[in-house]
Structures are given as structure tokens and as C-alpha cells.
């Protein structure tokens, strides 16, 4: 563990990655229009929402660095994960709503982006790869669950209201269909809305690490934040972020617990059948 990267090791065949709940602006904070704007698109409180994961024996990998400094769930070469659709970059220059993040409307140059990648992006993914290798040595198969959340309404990114549960498997390329089906089944049982490979098909983490043919099954879960906090119609410095709502989170957590249990059960079942 470092001052910006926390790894809690478990023995179950499950890694819960939390790439966007960090708020640290490191040594680049003065470059932003404001600290609040730089933190606006944080996946607020996701680390609290999944605090139970360690009770299931899961390994958790979490960065405390803000996604505005560098987004560890983007292609490191700057290639868009969603061609033709609005998104943000490896080192974002705007918020989800299109507001300029940097003073003067600029952003980091190539050398600065390379520095940030070497300082934070590469070590984060090296840590994930290391935990995958450790758990594969124990179990053969492992599930990487990439945990995210976002406001329910972000018109620049998607129309209307986002489903509560957004399961991403990169069109089935990142995990076995049986795992995607098991997760979707738990979401459906909750009575809340869900979609498989909708607007959020999965970012760099599941696309890079997910190798079902090699025993690594990766899935992204993008939660609509209304499931665990109050969402203001228009976020500003006076009302955002909203506080974590424990009763609401407990209801959502029942489904998330069932989902992670299904992930833990999935890997040993695959191993016992000798299936890839």
C-alpha cells in the first residue's frame, strides 16, 4: 500500500477494483479551475458502498487519486473507448457536463500526461495484474469486478435516466456469458432497472484485463447514484456531493452482496469443471 494506492488482499477468487472514488489532486491541484470542479465527477462513496466485499474474502484495489488527475479506466494511448460518443480523456480536460477543468481552457501536454501515466496509471494496473496472478495461482479462475457510479442524469453522456444497474462486459468479450447472466439475474431480482452492455459497456480495466480464455473474467458495474444518495437537479458547490445515505445504501447493498457472492461462486465452479 502507498499513500495513493490501497490494496487489501483476500483469498477468494474475486478482485473489486475501485478506480474513481479518489479525490486527491496530488501535485496538480493548482492547475484546475477549482478543486470542487476537479472532484465533481468522482464516483462518490463507492468505497463505502462496497466495504462489505472484504467480508466475502475479496481483494480490493482502490486509488485515492482523482480521475481528473488521470483516469485509470481509459486507454493509455488516448484511444476513445466509445467512438462517436461524448466521453472524457485519459487526463480529462472537461467535466462530464463539458465544463473546462483547467485554467485558460487548456490541459496537460504530452510530457505531463506521460509523467502522470508513469506515476499513477501504470502502477495501478501493475497492482491489478499482480493480484490477478496471485489469485489465479490459488484458484485457476478469477473475477475482476470494476466498481463505478455516476449521476442518473448526464445529458451530455446519455439521454434520459440511467438504469440503476449497468453491467458492462464489452459485448461479452471480457467475461463468460454465465457470469454476466448470473449478475443480470441478481439485478432483475432487485426489482430495479438494469441493462447489460448498454451505454457503459466497460472501460479499459475490463477490456485490458478480461481474458476469459485465460481464466480472467472481468465485468464493470456502473451504478446510478440515486441508489445510495440524493441527487440534486443541478450539482453545485453548495449541494454536491450529497451525503452517503446509509438506509438507501443498505437496500442497494443487498443486491450488491448477492452479486459479489455470485462472482465468488462462479470462479470455483469454472475451475472444478476444468472449463475456461
- Residue 185: pLDDT above 80? yes
- Residue 126: pLDDT above 90? yes
pLDDT digits (tens, 9 = 90+) for 190-209: 999 999 999 999 999 999 99
> What pLDDT is recorded for position 1?
58
- Residue 244: pLDDT above 80? yes
Q: Which residue has the higher pLDDT, 166 or 84?
A: 166
Q: How far apart are CA 235 and CA 90, in angstroms?
A: 24
275 confidence band (pLDDT: 50, 70, 90):
very low
Q: Which fold has domain 5-273?
A: Aminopeptidase (3.40.630)
Mean pLDDT of 228-238: 97
Mean pLDDT of the chain: 95
136 confidence band (pLDDT: 50, 70, 90):
very high
267 confidence band (pLDDT: 50, 70, 90):
confident
- Please indicate, yes or no, whether the overall pTM of this predicted structure exceeds 0.85: yes
The 3-class secondary structure across the chain, one letter per residue, is: CCCCEEEECCCCCEEEEECCCCCECHHHHHHECCHHHHHCCCCCCHHHHCHHHHHHCCEEEEECECCCCCCCCCCCCCCCCCCCCCCCCCCCCECCCCCECEHHHCCCCHHHHHHHHHHHHHHHHHHHHHHHHHHHHHHCCEEEEEEEEECCCCCCCCCCCCCCEEEECCCCCCCCHHHHHHHHHHHHHHCCCEEECCCCCCCHHHHHHCEHHHCEEEEEEEEEHHHCCCCCCCCCCCCCCCCCCHHHHHHHHHHHHHHHHHHHHHHHHHHHHCCC
- Residue-range domain boundaries for the chain: 5-273
The answer to whether the CB of 61 falls within 8 A of the CB of 46 is: no
Amino acid at each position: 500500500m502507498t499513500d495513493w494506492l490501497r490494496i487489501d488482499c483476500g483469498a477468494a477468487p474475486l478482485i473489486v477494483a475501485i478506480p474513481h472514488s479518489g479525490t486527491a489532486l496530488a501535485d496538480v491541484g493548482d492547475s484546475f479551475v477549482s478543486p470542487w470542479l476537479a472532484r465533481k465527477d468522482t464516483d462518490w462513496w463507492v468505497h463505502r458502498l462496497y466495504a462489505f466485499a472484504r467480508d466475502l474474502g475479496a481483494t480490493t484495489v482502490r486509488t485515492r487519486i482523482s480521475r481528473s488527475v488521470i483516469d485509470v479506466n481509459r486507454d493509455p494511448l488516448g484511444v476513445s473507448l466509445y467512438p462517436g460518443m461524448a466521453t472524457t480523456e485519459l487526463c480529462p480536460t472537461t467535466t462530464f457536463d463539458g465544463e473546462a477543468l483547467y485554467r485558460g481552457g487548456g490541459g496537460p501536454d504530452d510530457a505531463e500526461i506521460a509523467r502522470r501515466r508513469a506515476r499513477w496509471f501504470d502502477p495501478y494496473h501493475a497492482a491489478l495484474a499482480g493480484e490477478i496472478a496471485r489469485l489465479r495461482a490459488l484458484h485457476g479462475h478469477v473475477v475482476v469486478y470494476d466498481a463505478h457510479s455516476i449521476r442518473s442524469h448526464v445529458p451530455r453522456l446519455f439521454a434520459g435516466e440511467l438504469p440503476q444497474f449497468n453491467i458492462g462486459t464489452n459485448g461479452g468479450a471480457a467475461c463468460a456469458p454465465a457470469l454476466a447472466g448470473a449478475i443480470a439475474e441478481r439485478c432483475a431480482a432487485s426489482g430495479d432497472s438494469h441493462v447489460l452492455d448498454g451505454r457503459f459497456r466497460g472501460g479499459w480495466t475490463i477490456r485490458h484485463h478480461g481474458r476469459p480464455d485465460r481464466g480472467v473474467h472481468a465485468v464493470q458495474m456502473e451504478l446510478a447514484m440515486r441508489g445510495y444518495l440524493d441527487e440534486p437537479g443541478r450539482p453545485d458547490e453548495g449541494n454536491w456531493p450529497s451525503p452517503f445515505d446509509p438506509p438507501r445504501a443498505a437496500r442497494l447493498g443487498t443486491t450488491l452482496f448477492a452479486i459479489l457472492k455470485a462472482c465468488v461462486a462462479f470462479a470455483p465452479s469454472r475451475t472444478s469443471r476444468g472449463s475456461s
